[in-house]
């Protein structure tokens, strides 16, 4: 885990958030633990995009520590303050929640608005699963634009996995049906389904998503199905609003948080866990094939605060 190649890149990806947070935390060192201390701490956490609710959770836990007398000594040193904060942030993030892929074939429906990073995530995930020895099929069920299908084909070629595709404009549920048949016939371990991401407020899209979800469950009876929402970390609190809208259509089982490398507001991961009560299952931190990892709360806190 920590110390291996990916952690270095992950840590690098979180550099902006870490540096911004560290700069703010330095201003808290050695201070009296009074209301203005907590105000400034809240400001630092809000700036990192933990959101109001998660910030309140974290600060309440630190207050509880302060009452028990633990915090006073801790905040005298940068290490002490970061350590205390790391512990309460970790508690807010909860346990690691890896993808449920057993028994095969498992279905993974990938949702999200255009530009969030769905295509890239599917490519990286297919690559990862294949490297783990799993047979992967991808369904190009975003049939809205031919370019989207072609872009997905570039990634599945790169990952060396099969893509099931129909012509532009065809019924996404029909693509899912064919892909599920292919998954069964070829004893695939995982079927990943790309979906259209144009305006998620359009009812026809929502109906389309529900239909393809029904078809997937019918054709892979008893299979574990993940419905993952891809959220762009750079969109911050907007992402939380998006997640609420998607969750109103299909029950989500988790979030993929992308572009952590492009933002100083990576604290959004804590808001997702604390506010939406959704596990962050995977994180993307770059455009390379290996820049996707299962979300490891300990590694995240370490990369953010260590």
Which residues in this chain contact ligand GDP in the complex, by CB under 6 A? 112, 114-120, 197, 258-259, 261-262, 284-287, 291
CB of 130 to ligand GDP, least distance (A): 18
Cα 30 from chain centroid? 35
**Secondary structure string (H, E, C) spanning 2-29:** CCCHHHHHHHHHCHHHHHHHHHHHHCCC
**Secondary structure string (H, E, C) spanning 41-88:** HHHHHHHCCCHHHHHHHHHHHHHHHHHCCHHHHHCCCHHHHHHHHHHH
Beta bridge partners of 109: 193, 227
CB of 216 to ligand GDP, least distance (A): 19
**Residues in contact with 150: Cβ distance below 8 Å, sequence separation at least 6, in sequence order:** none
CB of 93 to ligand GDP, least distance (A): 19
CB of 231 to ligand GDP, least distance (A): 10
Candidates 260, 255, 240; CA nearest to 300 is 260
CB of 190 to ligand GDP, least distance (A): 19
Nearest residue relative to ligand GDP (C-beta): 284
Q: What is the phi/psi pair of residue 260, to 5°?
A: -60, -25
* Closer residue to ligand GDP in complex, CB, 190/257: 257
179, 173 contact by CB (below 8 A): no
């Amino acid at each position: 885990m920590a110390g291996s190649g990916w952690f270095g890149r992950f840590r690098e990806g979180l550099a902006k958030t870490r540096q911004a947070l560290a700069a703010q935390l330095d201003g808290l060192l050695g201070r009296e633990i009074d209301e203005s201390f907590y105000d400034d701490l809240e400001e630092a956490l809000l700036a990192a995009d933990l959101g109001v609710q998660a910030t309140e959770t974290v600060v309440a836990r630190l207050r509880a520590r302060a009452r028990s007398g633990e915090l006073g000594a801790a905040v005298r040193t940068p290490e002490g303050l970061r350590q205390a904060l790391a512990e309460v942030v970790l508690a807010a993030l909860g346990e690691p929640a890896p993808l449920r892929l057993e028994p095969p074939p498992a279905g993974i429906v990938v949702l999200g608005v255009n530009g969030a990073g769905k295509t890239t995530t599917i490519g990286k995930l297919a690559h990862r699963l294949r490297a783990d020895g799993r047979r992967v099929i991808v369904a190009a069920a975003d049939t809205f634009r031919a370019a989207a299908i072609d872009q997905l084909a570039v990634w599945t070629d790169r990952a060396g996995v099969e893509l099931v595709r129909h012509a532009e404009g065809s019924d996404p549920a029909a693509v899912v049906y064919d892909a599920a048949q292919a998954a069964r016939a070829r004893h695939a371990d995982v079927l990943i389904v790309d979906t259209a991401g144009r305006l998620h407020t359009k009812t026809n899209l929502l109906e389309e998503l529900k239909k393809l979800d029904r078809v997937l469950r019918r054709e892979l009876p008893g299979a574990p199905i993940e419905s993952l929402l891809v959220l762009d970390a750079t969109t911050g609190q907007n992402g939380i609003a998006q997640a609420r809208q998607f969750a109103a259509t299909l029950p989500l089982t988790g979030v993929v948080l992308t572009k952590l490398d492009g933002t100083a507001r990576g604290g959004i991961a804590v808001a997702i866990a604390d506010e939406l009560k959704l596990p962050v299952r995977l994180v993307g931190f770059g455009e390379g094939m290996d820049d996707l990892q299962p979300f490891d709360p300990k590694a995240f806190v370490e990369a953010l605060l260590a």
